Structure formats: C-alpha cells, structure tokens
Amino acid sequence: MEFKYIALIACVVLGIVLLFFEYRRKNRSYLYARLAATVLLVICLALLIFPVQYEVKEVSNGHSINLLTTGTSKDQVLATGVSSFTTDPGLYQTLKKSRVKYITDLIYYLSDHPEIRHINVYGYGLSLEEIRQLNKYTLSFHPPKAPSGIVSASWNNKLKSTEFLQVQGTFSNQANKTVKFYLEGFGTRLDSLTVPGGKNINFSFRDQPKQTGLAVYRLVAIAGNDTIAKEPVPFEVKPDAPGAILMLSSAPDFEFKFLKDWLFDHQYPLMLRNRISKDKFSTDFLNTPVVKLERLNTAQLQKTALLIIDEDEFTALGAGEREAVDRASSRGMGLLIRASSGDQKKLQEFSLHTENIPSLKDQEIVPELKNDTYRFSALPAGQTSFIKPASDYKMLVQTKAGKGLVSSRINGSGTLLYSVIPTTYNWVLDGKKSDYTVFWSSIIAAGIRKTTESFSYETQTSFPVISEKLTLNLEVADTKKMPQVSINQKSWSPSQHPQFDSSWQVSGWSGQSGWNTIAVNGNQSAFYVYDNTDWNSARYIKRLNFNNKLINNQNGSPSASKAPDFAKEDLSLWWFYAGFLLSAGFLWYESKNQEQNG
Amino acid sequence: MDRQEGRNKIENLRLKWQMLVFADRFCISLLFALPLSAAFMHFFGLGNWVLLLFVVLSFISCSLFKPFWKISTHDVARFLNISHPELEESSGLLLQETSQLNTLQLFQQQKVAETLSGIKVQILSGNTIIRLSAYLLTGVLLFISIPYLKSGNVSGLPGTAEQNSHGIARGQGLPPQLNRIQVQIIPPAYTGVSSRKQNQLSIKAENGAILRWEMQTSIPVKHFKFIFNDKEKINLQSENGEGKSWTLSRKMVKPGFYQIEMDGKKSDLYQVELIADRPVVIQITQPKPHTTIDFGEAKKVNMKVSLDDDYGIQNAYISATLASGKGEGVSFTEKKLVFNTSFNAQKSMKLQKELDLNALGMKPGDELYFFVAATDNYGQASRSDVYFVSIADTTELMSLAGMTSGVNLVPEYFRSQRQIIMDTEKLLSEQSKITVQQFKTRSNDLGTDQKLLRMRYGKFLGEESETEIGGGHDHDEEGHDHEEGHSHGKEPEKTAAFGDVQAIMDSYAHKHDIAEDATFFEPEVKSRLKAVLTEMWSSELKLRTYQPQEALPFAYKALRLLKDLQQKSRAFVAKTTVKVSQLKEEKRFSGELDKIGQPVMEQKKVKADQRDEVLKKGLSYLETYKTASKIDAGATANFWEMEKYLVVSAVDHPDTYLPALRAIRELRSGTSVKQPLIDRIQKAVRKMLEQEVTVPQAGSDLPSSDLYQQYFNQLKKDLR
C-alpha cells in the first residue's frame, strides 16, 4: 500500500481518537471549540503531508527567449535586447561582448525552464531536426539579409566518358567589387566569367572532363586579391560500355558501310547483314563472336541494344521475325528504320506519315538537331520525302525549314526511330567527320537500350556535410533480401521503405569528409561529403528557405500551444503549519487553563 | 744592468704589446666581417670583393676603439708598475734622462733597472690565445655555413637561380659537389648568331647548335654521366684524370631534356629547347591572283614581293609557265626569271620586277602562271601561291565558233557589237584617206549604233528606253510599251481600246524601269549585262567624241563579257553509245543459288595503345592522392606507366611537359607539399589527352525497373 493511504488512514484514525477523547472529557466546557480545533489540527497535519495544489492560467507572453543562430548580424543582436542565447560556440565568441549567453544544449535548457513557451529565432535558422524537436513551442523567425556568393549550384555528378560536365547556378555579388569567377580543375582554368558589383548572375560552365574515375573541380571566386569562395565540385566519370548493334540491310550500300566502319572504330560490338541475293547474305561480325544470323530470334534480339534496318529489309522479315522484333523493341531494344525510299504506302505500314515535296528536290538538306545548337554542314540535294509531324512522334532532326528528317516514338520501354535521310556518308567524304559523329551519336544515344544499374543512391540533402547526419536513399534491384550496405568498409543497416520494397534508407555519421566509398551487395560506388566550410552560401540559403517555410507553416496552423495553459502551483505550507500550531496551541492552553481552574 | 738596458726592455715590450693588440683587433674584425660578407654574397649575389671590403672596414673601426699605434713606453711602464709591485712604482724613471734626475731618483733608477732585469714579463697569456682563436674559429665557421642556409625569398620559384661567388647556378637541384658550370652554345654558322655562355642548365638554343658543358667538382668524382631523354647515357672522362673537371660537347638536332648523374646521384631534369629555322615567308602584294589584260592595255605586269626570314635569304626567283595555244595544241614553256638584286643573307627584303609579257612571247589568248620561290641560308625552300595573268584574245571574240550551235538564250545582238568593232577598225585604217569631217561623221554614226545596241540590252534589264535617236528602228515588238508616254495629247484613244483602263493609265503614266521585264533573267546574268552596258557607255562616249581608237578597248571588253554570258548559258552533254540487252523479267531471281556461299567476315578491334586509358585513370588517381596519405598498388603502377608517356611527350616538347616530369619524380621521392606538384602533373596530362568527340552513350535506368516493368505490363494488359 502506498504511503499516501497509510498516512491518510493514520490521520483519520488519529482524528477519531482525538475527537473521542475530547468528547469524553469530564469537563465539558468549550466542547465544540475543542472539537473544531481538533478537526482543524488533523486536517492541517494531513495537508502538511499532502500539500494543496491549484491550477493557474499560464501567462505565455512573458516567457520567450531569443535564439541566435549562424548568420545573425550585429545589428540584429543589438535589436534583440537582453535574454539572447546561442548554441553556436563560434557565434558566441564573436558576440560575447553583446551579453549573449551560451547554452550547450537547447532541448536540455528548455526542459529546465518550462516557463519558456516562445522562441524567437535569429540568423539563418535551425536544422530540420532541431525544428522538429521544438514542436511544443511557438517559434518566430527573423531572417537576416540573404548571403552573397555562390547561392545555388548544381551539376551532373555522374558522367559517362566523353560527356560534358555542366555546372550551373547563381552567383550573388552584393559587394561593389567586380568578382572573377571561374571553374578550375586539374590545375587548369577551364571556364570563367566576371560578375560586376551588386549583381546576381546565372552562370553555366562547361567542360569535357578527361579522366575516368573520381575528380574534384573547384568553383573559385576572386574579388581583388581575396578568394571569397572556393567550393568543391565532385563528380565521377565512368568508362563507356558500348551496347551491341545489329544492322540489317536489303542490299550492300555505302550508308551502312560507313556507319559500320565508324561504329567499328568506336569499338562497338556490331553485326551487319547485307542481303546480296535471294536468301543469301553477307555478314560481318565486328568485335562479336560469329553466330547464325539468317533468321532473327528473340534470344539474339535480347542481346541487341540497337537494331538498324532499312525499310525493304523490314518488310522482308517473316511474321515470326517481326513479332520477335516488336517484342524486343517493347522491352527496351532500340529500333532505327531507315525509310529513305519515299514510298508513302510502304511507310504507312509503320504508321509513319511522310509528305512528298518535289519542289525541295534541288535544295540542299541542312539538318538541325532539336535542343542542340550544333551547326551541320549541308547534305546533297535530292531528297523529297519528309516526315510529317504527328502527336505521338518526337522530332529529333529536322531541316532549317522545319521538315522532319528523324523522329522517334516510344514503343513500350523501347524507342522506335525513323530516318528519311538517304545518305550521311557524304560528310565523311567531305572530311566533315565531326558532323557525322555528332549526328550519329545523338541518334544512337536517343535509341539505344538503356543499361540497368545494380543500385542507385542519393543523399538526402544536396550538400551533405561532415557535421550533420548523413541520410542516403537507395534503390536496389534485388528486392528479395536485405541489401548489404557498407560505407567506408563499415557495414550500415538499411531500413526499407514501407511502400516500395526496392527503396531503402541508411543514415548515420560518415565521419570522413571528401570521397566516401559505398558498397551495396558488393558493388562499389562513391559519394562526396563536404567540409563544414564548403558551400556555405548555398547551404545557408537552403536553411533560410526551409526555416521560413516550416516556421511560417507552424505559426499559421492553430497549434496545441495556443489553447489556454494551466500550471499547477503548491499552496504555501506555512498556512497549514500556522493552522496546526494555532489549533494545537488552543487545545494545550485550554487544557492547562482547565487544570488550573479545576 | 744599467738604465739603457732597462729602457730597451721597455721598448721591446711596447712592440710586443702593439703586435698583440693588432692581432686582437684583427681577430675581432674578422669575427664580424666574415659572416657579414658571406651573408651578402649569398643573399644578394655580390662578388668576392665584399669580403675584402668588410675586413678592411671592420678592422679600421675596431682599431679606432683601441688604437694600437698609440701605445707608448709610458703605457708599458705603467703596466709594469701595476703588474709588478717590486718595481716600487718607479719603472717610469728608466725612461727619463739621467741628467735630469736627482740623486735619490738616480739611486732608485739603478735599483729598478736591476729589479727589472730579474723580472720575466709576460704579455701574451694563455687566455688571450684561447680568446683570439675562439674569435677566429667562430668567424670562419659562420663564413662557411652561411651559404648552406636556404635562401628564403627567391629559390622557391622555378627557373630562377641565383649565383654565388663561383658563378654557378644553384637552386636547380644540383649535386652540391658541383662547383662551376658553364654551358657554351655555339649556333650553326649560317645563322650568324655568335656563340654565348650561360650558367643555367636549362638551355634554349638554335637548331643544330653545338652545346659544350664545362663542369668542375669540388671533390673527385668517379662516374660522371649525362642522361639524355631518359634513354641515352654518355659517360664523361675527366680532364687529366683527376675526376674534377669534366666537359662534353654535343650537337643538338632534337629537343628534349637531360640529367646529370654523379656517382649514382641523379640531378634534376633540365630542358633543351631548340628554335627551329623558319622557311622564307613570301608575300606577293602586286598583282592580284588573277589578272586579265584587255585590248589596249599595256602588256606589262608590275610585281611587288616581300620576303621574310629569321636568319637570312639566300636566293629568290620567279618561276613562270607560259601556256599558249588552244585545245589539244596547248604548249607550255617554263622560264626562270631572276630578280635584279643580290642576296646577301638579308633577313627581310622588298623586291620589284616588271614582267614584260611581250618579251616573254605572250600572244593574245595566252596565259602565264607564275610563282615566287625562295631559299633561306639553311637551304629550306619555300614558294608562294600560283598567280595568273592572261591576255584577252580579240580574234577569239570575233570568231563565230560557238555561236552557230547550242542554245542561244540572248538574241543575236552580239554581232552588232562585233560589227561596231569591225567598223571602228575599218574607220581607223581608212582615217588617212578620208577627210576629217567624214571621219567625225562616221565616228558619230558608230556611236549612235553603239547607243542603240546599249539600249536594246538595257531593255533586258527593264531600263528606261529613249526614242529620240533612231526612233524608227525595230520597234515593232513590245518596244513601244516602254516608250515615254509623253504623247498625252496625241490621240490616246487610238492605241488604247475603249474601256481598257490599263492602256489609258499607261498613256498618262511616266513609266521608268519596268519591273516585269527585269524578271526575265537570273540576278547573275543581270549583273553581267549591267557590266556590259557600262562598257558600251564608255565606248559610245569615245566614239561620239571622235576618238575611235580609245573606244576600241571598251568595245572589246563589252564583247568579251557578252561572250562569257553566252558561254555561261550553255550546257554540254556528252554523247554515249551503250546498248543494253533486254531483260527477261520472268527469268529474274530464278537462278540456282545453292552452290553460292555466304561470305562471313569477322574482325576484332583491339586498341594497341593503352596510353589514353592510362592517362585518364592517372588523372583520377592523382586527384585522390591529393587528400589520401597512401596510394594503392594499382595507382603506383599507373604512375610508372604515366611517367613513361610523360617522358615521350617531354622529349618532343620539353618546355611544356618537363615541369610535369620533374614533378612526378619529386612526388615519388615523397614530399610533404603534394598539391602544387599534382596540379602541375594533371595540367600536363590533361594537355596530353586530346579533345574527344562525343560518342553515343546509353542512358541508364533505375535499378528497381522490375517494379516499373510490372506496372507497364499491367497497363498493357488493361489496354487489351
């Protein structure tokens, strides 16, 4: 039994006993007064043991603190007045003189001071985790001026060999000085621009990285002799793995021959089948083992990344072969049909609509890539058939006048390409190799079967920093069992996404800035963890934005803290002590008096 | 012992004392002077004279503090009194003349002289010797050690090297025992550049120059080697077998780098850059690449050529080829024309030459091709582009060939121009026979004809036509449409049908250039026609001012342009005589093919050279090595490979790639400051890799494509 009840029973028993004796006393003078005094005595004793509590209405406005975070300016500190706190030791050092108090742990401090209900946040704000922990409090945010420097930047951090690195973002120059801003890598200045004072500039730097593997470029901003920013731009270049290409031609021609040579030069595994007579083929196997190619089959097509075929050969395919090609195409294989005959009826079989414009016969064809500014030189005149635009087709290449030359259509997970250009090898003959390369590169890249990675990952924040918790979201192909994740040769435990069984998440502390290795089921990759000083401006802007958003959201919704709050307070024990003393004193004095009288 | 002996002794002591103080001052001054002068020589690169200067200066200033020459015999006497109490403070008496002394003093003098002879005075104590030798030793030690200090300010920069007193370039990673280096560069004689000497080991010399290294070592060295381009090793023999002085001469025809090895210790790498001899640069400023000399123009071409070479021009001439004749009868004659100047290996020349086409035997219709060839004093030949000069053939223009056949787009007005020329020539030949008045009238008539002709052509261009002169000429065509409509009053209803608004408007309107006519020809033809008209204008002007002789060139030019115009509008199709047998359609594709094999080709492309792969990987390895403390075995192997390729590149372009090669060796030796070295290597490697063309790259799918595939299949099923 609890002490509470024992004490209560004891008090009741004591009260009854005392009352009994008072009642039974022979001298019955002051009987009622004595009885009342006894009751009061016992009650006071009981209340001494169990103090009385009462509820008071909370006065919320009186208890708020100012919390200063990084980026608080001196003026702001002066404006905040007295009770200002900070958890940032660096900030504390600089603002020491302004009577700012330092607290090591905010949550701990707040639980020590329950009267605090409201927090004014100054500076760039709190981390997401900290804001979540402060959900019981009302917050108000007083952001400073936006930071200057590289306020945002992004780049393609996973490249394939020969691809271009493109770094884009915004540079905000709030000072009056002109800033020299450049991208630097491998000891060389790669691309640069100047930012005049007081201006915001969107920048876009481009470079073709020459390494395979990991590298860190740097974005450097220099004002006069001061380096105002030097931010790492980490990225990885993976070696190219060319996919297998199969070419079927109804007759030996130069277009296929040149394309074959070009692909062979770039080390593509390649099969070329030329029909030379009825059911007779001449076949070339380049960088691939020799197989039977008289009839196409599903197994063969599954290994093929791109099938290039001319329209005559396509119509000559048997029904079974067509079925196989269609199935393979819908499962991801690229299919390029060279439809240069201009025979509209035949083309309608492929649901491709073309138009015949004989007036363009004498005009040279100058192809243009959509979404690219590359300028091709002209191809010989003579072409009259062009692709008509249609809703389910995407035009890849067209003439200057907007007549379609190459278009693509989605077929399942594969891509279907049609080209009505009769010849492109003229570029090679004219010595314009780069035209040929750019043309075929973009067309093949648009169609070729995509490679599937064994796993992919991304960091939760775009600039993971060493001092913050690291969270990685993983996508893993094998959904049957839990993936073995290790970062820097230490194994981490992932947690699965409740809905998507291929999504996993790991979080923890990487403990090492720079490149960190990650291995998932034995497949290695690397990600970059930044130092605390890297990308300051960009990170502060991000923090400012989400603080603004979160704190404004919180203030907008009627939170629980808005309801009238009651706090319990103890009634002072002195009152009961006094009552006890008085009643006991009366009883004592009365009995003494009776004895003297009696 | 008498007074004189005592005095001699004191004199003796004075001399000794002076010498001691002198030695003392000298030692102290050396203590200051030696380190100071060493520091000056080392840090400011001053010569040996500094040492002498400092010694003298400090000795003088030291001596001024304690002037040894002022030590007198009285000083000696005072010293003796202090150090020897038995002299009873009276040694000074010995220095005084006996005659000036009283008896008591004489007695004392006697006594002192005797005492003095018994005293052994010691001026030079052991302590002094130790003190002085300590001064000397410290000074000398400092003097020797200061040059070994790292000079803080300049030596860090690459390529700069200060020289110390021996004239040797330090700060190049040289073995310390090398004392003196001198490289003599003897450029080939033809350059006319005098030989020069330098103390730096990085060399920039003319191609084919002889380099002569002279080196001296402070200690004998057994093996002294030069390693050129990391391959070729040359062992040096020292002069007179002492192993101290070494020389090597070598003719350099290929750039590269070298290294010195002394007893197995290798030096840094030094580049040898060669300046190649340029061939002569020839620029023809006059005439233009194509020149046509028309009838009447002087048959001379003035030529202006400027020549430029880096060391000197040896010779230059014009090579001219004359092509005469037509069709199959073309004959070529080659001629070499010389400039009338002498060549004394000047570096730049401006030449002039007048080509007399008549002297060359050029007739109308012939063409002359020429170019200028020049050789420099190294024997390198160069030549200019080929220039053309042709003389317009007037007889060809007059011939009817080519007009009798083919499509005659432009009507037969050519003959008129031909006729005008013929008539003009006829008029000129008859000038002496006819009167001046007749001559003028005929000339004017010809001018009128020329005008008419011009106007007819002008019509093709839609030009305004005139009617005053020769109004009666063939205007039966639509010509009258273009007449000026100034005949307002003259029965307009006669020409215009009643109610024909256009006709009425035409008769009132003043029509200038008529656009509809102008569309008959292509723009190019039109521009040519315009040129013809201009020539005709000029011809007409001359004819009307009674100068038929001067009108001829313009008339000829007009004719030539017309002829060109006519030729342009013609197309030639070669005749073919091929007979094709009739195909039997039913037999097509019905041959038996079962014995015909199917050709199968197999090829594999293996890149023989791994250079690009190695360099590309190397760039990344270097990047990780910037922050990592260790590199794995794969990376080390890669560095070795990369160095091989760097050596190859450095041989060809030492100025670009040698710093990187140095850096990679320095990096391997394990240094703490990696970043700048790695940057330097990466920069070079990046340069070695050429710009790549984009090759098609497959995109990549997310790994969880199973899920998407299922979703896709489900969609497809629903659609069916």
**DSSP secondary structure of B241-265:** GSSSEEEEEEE--S-EEEEEEETTE
Tell me the DSSP string of B533-563. HHHHHHHHHHHHTT-HHHHHHHHHHHHHHHH
From the CA of B461, how many Å to the nearest CA of chain A? 27
List CB contacts (< 8 A) between B601 and chain A: 282-286
From the CA of A455, how many Å to the nearest CA of chain B? 5
B635 has a chain A CB within 8 A of its CB: no
Q: Residue A212: which of B596, B616, B708 has the nearest Cβ?
A: B616
List CB contacts (< 8 A) between B701 and chain A: 450-453
pLDDT at A241 over 80: no
**Distance (Å, rounded) from C-alpha B709 to C-alpha B717?**
12
Residue type, B190: Y
Q: Could you give phi then psi for residue B303, rounded to 5 degrees?
A: -115, 135
Of A279, A273, A275, A309, the C-alpha closest to A293 is: A273
Token digits of residue A18: 């005392």
Rounded (10°) CA dihedral B66, B72, B78, B81 = 120
Residues 6 or more apart in contact with residue B232 via CB below 8 angstroms: none
From the CA of B521, how many Å to the nearest CA of chain A? 19
Higher-confidence residue: A351 or A334?
A: A334
Assign residue A340 a region (left: φ > 0; alpha: ψ between -120 and 50; beta: otherwise). Answer: alpha
Question: Which residue(s) pair with B197 in the sheet?
Answer: B184
Q: What is the 3 state secondary structure string of B676-697? A: HHHHHHHHHHHHHCCCCCCCCC
Token digits of residue B259: 């290294």
Helix ranges restricted to H, B569-610: none
**Distance (Å, rounded) from C-alpha A57 to C-alpha A568?**
9
Q: What is the pLDDT of residues A74-125, one digit of tens each?
A: 777 666 665 678 888 878 887 777 777 888 888 888 888 887 888 888 888 8
pLDDT for the residue B152: 42
From the CA of A303, how many Å to the nearest CA of chain B? 14
- Tokens 């101290």, residue located: B244
SS3 content of chain B, % helix, strand, coil (to 5): 45, 20, 35
> What is the number of alpha carbons within 13 Å of residue B180 lying toward its C-beta?
11
From the CA of B686, how many Å to the nearest CA of chain A? 7
Neighbours of A488 (CB within 10 A): 15
Contact of B167 with B59, CB cutoff 8 Å? no
Burial A141-163 (b: 16+ CB within 10 A, else e): bbbbebbbbbbbbebeeebbbbb
List CB contacts (< 8 A) between A285 and chain B: 600-603
Tell me the DSSP string of A488-547. TTEEE--EE-SS-TTEEEEEE-----EEEEEEETTEEEEEEEB-TTTTHHHHHHHHHHHH
Q: Which residue of A has its CA nearest to B588?
A: A278
Are B617 and A212 inside 8 Å of each other by CB? yes
Residue/partner pairs of B476-484 with CB below 8 Å, 24 or more apart? B481/B506, B481/B514, B482/B511, B482/B514, B482/B517, B484/B510, B484/B511
What 3-state DSSP class applies to B642? helix
Q: A159, A186, A524: which to substitute to probe chain B, counting the most B Cβ within 10 Å?
A: A186
Positive or negative: CA dihedral A395, A400, A403, A404: negative
Tell me the DSSP string of A36-58. HHHHHHHHHHHHHHS--EEEEE-
Q: Residue B698: which of A186, A279, A449 has the nearest Cβ?
A: A449
Q: Residue A454: which of B599, B682, B703 has the nearest Cβ?
A: B703
Contact of B685 with B625, CB cutoff 8 Å? no
H/E element, A181: strand A179-185
pLDDT for the residue B298: 82
Are B703 and A283 inside 8 Å of each other by CB? no
Higher-confidence residue: A141 or B153?
A: A141
- Which residue ranges in chain B fall short of pLDDT 70? 1-2, 45, 149-173, 327-328, 396-415, 462-521, 569-577, 608, 671-672, 704-706, 720
Of B369, B421, B368, B414, the C-alpha closest to B394 is: B421
Assign residue A417 a region (left: φ > 0; alpha: ψ between -120 and 50; beta: otherwise). Answer: beta
What 3-state DSSP class applies to B501? helix
Q: What is the pLDDT of residues A35-71, one digit of tens each?
A: 999 999 999 988 888 877 777 665 444 577 888 888 8
Q: Residue B593: which of A210, A277, A503 has the nearest Cβ?
A: A277
Are B701 and A450 inside 8 Å of each other by CB? yes
Q: What is the pLDDT of residues A178-200, one digit of tens each?
A: 899 999 988 888 888 988 888 88
pLDDT for the residue B151: 45
pLDDT for the residue B327: 65
Of A208, A159, A155, A200, the C-alpha closest to A181 is: A200
Residues 564-593 of B with CB under 8 A from A: 589, 593
pLDDT for the residue A381: 81
Are A267 and B607 inside 8 Å of each other by CB? yes
Are A479 and B704 inside 8 Å of each other by CB? yes
pLDDT for the residue A309: 93
Neighbours of B428 (CB within 10 A): 15
Token digits of residue B434: 């006819």
Q: Residue B703: which of A161, A434, A452 has the nearest Cβ?
A: A452
From the CA of B619, how many Å to the nearest CA of chain A? 5
Q: Which residue of B has its CA nearest to A269?
A: B604
pLDDT for the residue B397: 67
Token digits of residue B53: 């200067």
**Distance (Å, rounded) from C-alpha A57 to C-alpha A55?**
7
Are A438 and B716 inside 8 Å of each other by CB? no
H/E element, A361: none
Of A275, A286, A280, A276, the C-alpha closest to A246 is: A286
Token digits of residue B222: 């057994």
pLDDT for the residue A134: 83
- Tokens 């990679």, residue located: B664
Reported as a pLDDT band with limits 50, 70 and 90, residue A336 is very high
* pTM of the predicted model over 0.90: no
Q: In what order do the strands lie in the sheet with B224-228?
A: B203-206, B265-275, B256-262, B224-228, B232-235
Q: A158, A164, A211: which to substitute to probe chain B, counting the most B Cβ within 10 Å?
A: A211
Q: Which residue of A has its CA nearest to B689?
A: A210
pLDDT for the residue A170: 92
B623 has a chain A CB within 8 A of its CB: yes
B700 has a chain A CB within 8 A of its CB: yes
- Tokens 């063969």, residue located: A300
Are A437 and B695 inside 8 Å of each other by CB? yes
Are B600 and A282 inside 8 Å of each other by CB? yes
**Distance (Å, rounded) from C-alpha B33 to C-alpha B25?**
12
Tell me A594's DSSP state. H
Token digits of residue A345: 């009826």
B459 has a chain A CB within 8 A of its CB: no
From the CA of B601, how many Å to the nearest CA of chain A? 4
pLDDT at A251 over 50: yes
Q: What is the pLDDT of residues A535-592, one digit of tens each?
A: 988 888 888 888 888 877 766 544 444 445 566 677 888 888 999 999 999 989 988 8
B400 has a chain A CB within 8 A of its CB: no
Q: Which residue of B has its CA nearest to A442?
A: B696
**Distance (Å, rounded) from C-alpha B256 to C-alpha B231?**
11
From the CA of A63, how many Å to the nearest CA of chain B? 50
Q: Residue A283: which of B598, B623, B683 has the nearest Cβ?
A: B598
Q: Which residue of B has its CA nearest to A290?
A: B602
What 3-state DSSP class applies to B520? coil
Tell me B222's DSSP state. S
Of A459, A463, A457, the C-alpha closest to A485 is: A457
From the CA of B156, how many Å to the nearest CA of chain A? 19
Q: Residue A162: which of B683, B692, B702 has the nearest Cβ?
A: B692
